[in-house]
Chains A and B, each alone.
Chain A
Amino acid sequence: MSEVYWFNHAALPLLALLQLVPVIGAAWVWRLARDNPARPASVRLGRVFALLELGLAIALYRGIDTSTAVLQFAEWLPLVGPIAYHAAADGVTVLFVLLVALLVLLLVIYSLVRELPNAGRLLAVMLALEGVLMSQLVTVNLFWFVASSAAEIALVGYLLWFWATSPEKDVMLARFYQFQGTGIALLLLGTLVLGWSHAHATGEWSFDLLDLTRVPVEARVAPIVFFMLFYGLGVRTPIFPLHGWLPVVAQHGNVAIAPVFLLGIKIGIFGLLRYVLPILPEMVVEWHLFVVGFAAAGVFYAALLAFQQSDLRRLLAFAVISHTGLLIMGIFALHPMGFQGGVLLTVNFGLAVTAMWMMTGFVYRRTHTTILARLGGLFDRIPLIGITFLVGGLAIVGMPGTPGFDAAHLVLEASIERFGALPTVAAALGNVAAAGFLLYAFQRAFLAARDQALDREVERASREELWVVGVMMTVLLVAGFYLEPWLRLVEAPLQGLASHFVGVKGL
């Protein structure tokens, strides 16, 4: 792995700006909102900052050289010992940065449409989260990644607690922090052992990705490090069987905002690709069948549970767990096509899940419930919201014409190459099962006959809602029919990643 510093090929330290702009925005919006909660200035300012961030992300996209796997726009500043500020980006980073910037902008608009209380404060928290997420994406120092992960979890917890939709929020928050706290602790432990291993080999502590990939990890601790990092990230992905927090959080937390931060942006997958795979290739190869076995089991386990749900939000939670299994299968096929498919599928699932959660939020705005038995008949009043929900579902299933198709196609190809036809057929069947429960959810919520006793006039879609709907549809369909730029963006870095696995014993 090598890097190019930002001043060699750019006018601005874009990565630092990407992290700082939202944090400054958050502080500013927070102050405005605290001084005068009724003033709409904070809301307007929040929108401006979210837009600005998307602009920066696009600038990064335009500046990045996609023909190479070299880390670009690198920034380095010594802090305390091995904990340096070190940021750099490659094509995969850029794809995730674009995703985060787009989703946060959509969330800002969504939250204004929903007319949630304390809009200014909400925007401030979302901007702060954006900054923290950007930090996790651009840093190449594992310790820094863990620290900003902890900050993210804390902020999401605040979001869940302050804007919860259910009186059972204490239980929900406790469960969230139990799981996520354990995850962060495992990550931190794994990081410290890695640092020690580096010190053991070279006499100097380091958490820097470039150092850690250069020096092989001490053989005695390598399996432990692998599992600590894998499970630490697994809680957040979430992979079966570490998903226990998700259904509760989905049901009692806020409808769309926290789920989009937690599930729309799969930082767990990013962490696996950025750190675990390149630092511990031997361990990954040794344990990849174990991981794939669990992932495949998770696809079906979660699909089975999804069919049993009576609450739309819990159903979506199990849908996420189910399709995450497919992602893990793609990535742990350890094949260039699997990496590409896995990354694109991650982004696609992020977009699709965001669309589904936001549409659920629009439904909740009208019905104040997501219990399936009490929904129904919505299609007559809000057809476009229903169709967007369905398009999100179809993207998850990998319907041709959505980005899910090409990505799932790549994953299946890699899976055939590596595991043979049978597990691939199983994965494809898992997808069909997902189609089953997502269609079921759509039917129950939008098409089923409405309960006469609960008859109510459902408000038609407003202009702002249609705006969100339009952007979501456009992104999903345009990216679906024209995937080429995104494929090109991630190709070189993922080829680089795949080169770590060339010639490793046991593959």
Chain B
Amino acid sequence: MDAMWLEMPLLSLLFMTLPIGAALTWFWPRPEQARVIALGTALLDLVIVGVILSRFDPTQAGYQLVEQARWIPSLPVNYLVGVDGLSVFFLPTTVLLFIGVIVASWNTVMSHQRLFFSLLLLLETTTLGIFCALDTVLFFLFWELSLVPLYFLISLWGVGPNRRYAAMKYAMVMLAGGAPLLLGFVLLAFNHADLTGALAFDLPSLLATPVPIETERVVFALLFLGFAVKMPVFPLHTWFPVVAMEGPVAVVALLAGLKLGVYGLIRFAIPLAPAAALEWHWVLAGLGTVAILYGAVAALAQTNLRRMMAYSSLSHVGLIVLALSAFNVQGLQGAVLQLLNFTLVAGGLFIATSFLYQRVGSSDVLSLGGAARSMPILASLFLVLGLASLGLPGTSGFPAELLMLIAALKTHTGAGLAALFGMVLGAAYFLSLYRRAFFGPITSPVVRDAVDLLPRERAVLLVFVGLVIAIGLAPGWLLEMLRPAAELWVARLAMG
């Protein structure tokens, strides 16, 4: 452990390179080269993440690569970052997703190219920060800061006519969600002060402090509310379909692929208020079940691939929440695996859709029919990712969904059965829309003349598909790496 303190501050290095890359991208004199710098920065980060993974010891359950510095001593807020088994694998998937988005935006940004790519890098910084922060205030800082680049990305480069409305709606909903979140953290800090005489905002001390059940209920409600908005959970989801339609298609991949709200639930809400979470398992299970069915039924009614995928992701988040409410190791492993899987699958699907959108100018099945004839590679890669989102055996979706279903059926049998039904619906909406978009006669000349994937686009999607299949065929090693941290998480919950 001591040796680790002496090593390079890898996580800080990760955070540092990105803003530097962003500044470089912004101030680079030749706008057309901005994207190259952005891509280079993201690739550099992939290397750093590789080093982080190689240093990470999967047999340990605690936080690793921890870095600490005083930030606001009088409050006392610290710069405290680190990773454990539950968070470390989000780093490579996040970086991969951002690389995919940068490539997908290669030729689509018409104005302010430098600003676009530097905002993407800033968003990457805050996203990685969210996964690494071990201090509640630092976490909140990254959490809220991610709003600023997203607001600009949606309102300036959105594809829909109501993009500004969508950006505003997103920002307002997220700010409203941020208020209960901060309040929940402050209440925990006060509880710590009541017991020990000093405020504390860092996760390790807060986890070690017992909380009276009355306070815990309030804290859990506040934190859950804050995270539920981001997930999103029915009925707080209305921003998501709007943003999915109005925002830039590639950027929506980030919102669909990175389920930060669920991560917040796993990392903060449940461990910090374990007794309240256990007491209210039925709220989680109920909301999860409603989301599964509501999302699936709503997805059935869509004709636009983007809206369909937005509702489908609502349904998938529902299953994760349901699995978490089991509070056992399988449920948590399945949930984390599904989150990782989601970054690749939902992110990949939206990136594939953005390729489609660039060629056809639409993602509505009414103007798409027969796309598989002119774009066979795009169509087949889209299908593989789509099947992974259904949980087909052989893809990474299968072990995740299986674990989650087992966990749900064990603890909430009725809800588990509903979830199974939701998966059937999932197959129905995906396959029917896929058939209408990619098969059948070609009706539009735009579709007929469309060019199939370019090499760089193919490379990105192939990496995603390759990882999906690799994890799907051999999920064991990943699940083993998740296990120690997951067991610690469940054990802590049982103590609370």
Nearest A-chain residue to B165, judged by Cβ: A443
**Which residues from A are CB-within-8-Å of B186?**
409, 412-413, 416
Interface size class of B (residues with CB under 8 A): 35 or more
Interface segment among A41-49, A118-126, A180-188, A423-431: the answer is A423-431
Q: Tell me the residues in window 390-414 of chain A with beta carbons closer than 8 Å to chain B beta carbons.
A: 390, 394, 397, 399-401, 405-406, 409-410, 412-413
Collect the chain A residues with CB atoms within 8 Å of residue B183's CB: 412, 416, 421, 424-425, 428
Q: Mark A428-440, 1 if CB is under 8 A from B, else 0.
A: 1101100110011
For the complex, give the distance between the alpha carbons of A414 and B93 in Å.
41
Q: Is the interface of A mostly helix, strand, loop or mixed?
A: helix
Known: A383-B112, A483-B72, A488-B74. A400 touches B190 (CB 8 A): no
Closest B residue to A405 by beta carbon equals B141
Taking a contact as CB atoms closer than 8 A, the residue among B168, B176, B189 that contacts A443 in the complex is: B168
Query: A127 to nearest B CB, angstroms?
Result: 36
B56 contacts partner chain A, Cβ-Cβ < 8 Å: no
How far, in angstroms, from A165 to B141 measured CA to CA in the complex?
A: 40
Whole-angstrom distance from the CB of A66 to the nearest CB of chain B? Answer: 12
Closest chain A CB from B264 CB (angstroms) = 15
Known: A412-B186, A416-B187, A417-B190. A447 touches B141 (CB 8 A): no
Contact of A413 with B141 at beta-carbon distance under 8 Å, contacts A421-B218, A435-B171 already known: no
Contact of A448 with B72 at beta-carbon distance under 8 Å, contacts A394-B148, A416-B187, A439-B172 already known: no
Is A53 positioned at the interface, with any CB of B under 8 Å from its CB? no
Tell me whether A487 is interfacial, beta carbon within 8 Å: yes
Judged by a CB distance under 8 angstroms, whether B145 is at the interface is yes
Inter-chain CA distance A154–B66, complex, in Å, is: 59
Contact B182 A412 (CB under 8 A): yes
- A130 interface residue, CB < 8 Å from B? no
Contact: A416 with B190, CB < 8 Å?
yes
The distance from the CB of A332 to the nearest CB of chain B, in whole angstroms, is 19
Docked CA distance A416–B190 (Å): 9
B-chain residues with CB within 8 Å of residue A440 when the two chains form the complex = 168
Nearest residue in B to A400 (C-beta to C-beta)? Answer: B141
Is A484 interfacial (CB-CB < 8 Å)? yes
Q: State A241–B139 Cα separation when bound (angstroms).
A: 38
- Picked from B74, B112, B115, the residue with its CB within 8 Å of the CB of A484 is B74
The reply on A168 being an interface residue by CB < 8 A is: no
State the CA gap A428–B222 with chains docked (Å).
13
Which residues of B have CB within 8 Å of A435?
171-172, 175
Docked pose: A379 CA to B112 CA in angstroms: 10
| Cβ–Cβ contact B72 & A400, under 8 A | no
| Given A383-B112, A484-B72, A432 and B145 contact (CB-CB distance below 8 Å) | no
Name the CB-closest residue of B to A412. Answer: B186
A286 at the interface (CB under 8 A from B): no
By a CB distance below 8 angstroms, the chain B residues around A401 are 141, 145
Q: How far is the CA of A383 from the CA of B118 in the complex (A)?
A: 14
**How far does the alpha carbon of A383 sit from the alpha carbon of B179 in the complex, in Å?**
29
On whether the beta carbons of A409 and B175 are closer than 8 Å, the reply is no
Are A383's CB and B115's CB within 8 A? yes
Q: For the complex, what is the distance from the CA of A436 to the CA of B175, rounded to whole Å?
A: 9
**Cβ of B73 < 8 Å from any Cβ of A?**
yes
- Residues of A contacting B74 in the complex (Cβ-Cβ under 8 angstroms): 484, 487-488, 491
Give A480 Cβ to nearest chain B Cβ, in Å: 10
- Bound-complex Cα distance A406 to B167 (A): 26
Q: Is the CB of A397 within 8 A of B164?
A: no
Contact of A204 with B by CB under 8 A:
no
Cβ distance A67 to chain B, nearest Cβ, rounded Å: 14
* B396 CB–A CB distance under 8 Å: no
CB within 8 Å for A399 and B148 given contacts A416-B187, A439-B171, A483-B72: yes
Bound: A431/B182 CA distance, A: 13
Q: Does B75 contact A (CB under 8 A)?
A: yes
Chain A nearest Cβ from B464, distance in angstroms: 32
Tell whether B54 is near chain A: CB-to-CB under 8 Å: no
* CB-defined contacts of A483 to chain B, threshold 8 Å: 72
Q: Kindly provide the distance from the CB of B139 to the nearest chain A CB, expressed in whole angstroms.
A: 10
Query: Does any Cβ of A come within 8 Å of B439's Cβ?
Result: no
Q: List the B residue with the shortest CB-CB distance to A449.
A: B164
Q: Which of B155, B176, B179 contacts A447 (CB 8 A)?
A: B155
Q: Does B278 contact A (CB under 8 A)?
A: no
Q: A416-B190, A447-B155 are in contact. Are A400 and B179 (CB under 8 A)?
A: no
Q: B298-337, CB under 8 A of A: which get 1 and which 0?
A: 0000000000000000000000000000000000000000
Binary B-proximity of A222-245 (CB < 8 A = 1, otherwise 0): 000000000000000000000000
Number of A-B contacts (CB under 8 A): 82
Chain B's nearest CB lies how many Å from the CB of A155? 38
Question: A365-385 interface mask toward B, CB cutoff 8 Å, 1 = contact, 0 = none?
Answer: 000000000000001100100
Interface of chain B residues 132 through 184 with chain A (CB within 8 A): 137, 140-142, 144-145, 147-148, 151, 155-156, 164, 167-168, 171-172, 175-176, 179-180, 182-183
**Contacts known (A439-B171, A487-B74); A447 close to B164, Cβ less than 8 A:** yes
Which residues does chain A contribute within 8 Å of B112, judged by CB atoms?
Answer: 380, 383
Selected from B145, B164, B176, B218, the residue in CB contact (under 8 A) with A399 is B145
A residues near B196, Cβ cutoff 8 Å: none
Question: What residues on A are CB-neighbors of B148 within 8 Å?
Answer: 390, 394, 399
Q: Which residues of B contact A436 (CB under 8 A)?
A: 172
The chain B residue with its CB closest to the CB of A379 is: B156
Residues of A within 8 A of B175 (CB): 397, 432, 435
The CB with the most chain B CB atoms within 10 A, among A390, A417, A429, A432, is that of A432
Q: State which of A432, A448, A488 has its C-beta within 8 Å of the C-beta of B172.
A: A432
**Complex Cα gap A440–B183 (Å):** 25
- Nearest residue, chain B, Cβ from A483: B72
Chain B's closest residue to A413 (CB) is B186
Instruction: Determine the residue in chain A with the shortest Cβ distance to B190.
Output: A416
Set of chain A residues within 8 Å of B190, measured between Cβ atoms: 413, 416-417
In the bound complex, CA of A488 to CA of B73 (Å): 10
Interface readout for A60-100 with B: 1 if CB under 8 Å, 0 if not? Answer: 00000000000000000000000000000000000000000
Instruction: Tell me the smallest distance from the CB of B113 to a CB of chain A, in Å.
Output: 12
Chain A residues with Cβ below 8 Å from B189 are 413
Closest to B140 in A: A400
B110 to chain A, nearest CB (A): 11
- The residue on A at minimum CB distance from B142 is A400
Asked if B179 and A425 make an inter-chain contact with CB atoms under 8 angstroms apart, the answer reads yes
Kindly list chain B residues whose C-beta atoms are within 8 Å of the C-beta of A432. Answer: 172, 175-176, 179
A413 proximity list for chain B (CB < 8 A)? 186, 189-190
In the bound complex, do residue A439 and residue B111 qualify as a contact, i.e. CB atoms below 8 Å apart? no
What's the minimum C-beta distance from A309 to chain B, rounded to whole angstroms?
17
Q: Among the listed B72, B141, B168, B218, which residue makes an inter-chain contact with A439, where contact means beta carbons less than 8 Å apart? A: B168
Specify which chain B residues have a CB less than 8 angstroms from the CB of A417 in the assembled complex. Answer: 190
Contact between chains at A380 and B111 (CB < 8 Å): yes
Q: Which residues of B contact A379 (CB under 8 A)?
A: 156
Cα distance A444–B196 when bound, in Å? 49
B111, B115, B168, B180, most chain A CB atoms within 10 A: B168
Determine whether the beta carbon of B72 is less than 8 Å from that of A447: no
Decide if A400 touches B144 in the complex (CB within 8 Å): yes
User: Which A residues touch B72, using CB under 8 A?
Assistant: 406, 483-484, 487
B164 touches which of A429, A448, A491 (Cβ 8 Å): A448
CA distance A424 to B156 in the complex (A): 34
User: Once the chains are docked, how many angstroms separate the CA of A435 from the CA of B111?
Assistant: 27
Known interface pairs A406-B75, A416-B187; 16 further A-B residue pairs with C-beta atoms within 8 A, sorted by A's residue number: A380-B111, A383-B112, A400-B137, A400-B140, A409-B186, A416-B186, A421-B218, A428-B179, A428-B182, A432-B175, A432-B176, A436-B172, A439-B171, A439-B172, A443-B164, A448-B164
> When A and B form their complex, which 8 residue pairs have the shortest distance between CB atoms, in order from nearest?
A400-B141, A428-B179, A400-B144, A435-B175, A432-B176, A432-B175, A487-B74, A443-B164
Q: List 12 A-B contacts (CB under 8 A).
A: A379-B156, A405-B141, A406-B77, A409-B75, A412-B182, A425-B180, A429-B179, A432-B176, A435-B172, A447-B156, A484-B73, A484-B74
Residues of A within 8 A of B (CB): 379-380, 383, 390, 394, 397, 399-401, 405-406, 409-410, 412-413, 416-417, 421, 424-425, 428-429, 431-432, 435-436, 439-440, 443, 447-448, 483-484, 487-488, 491
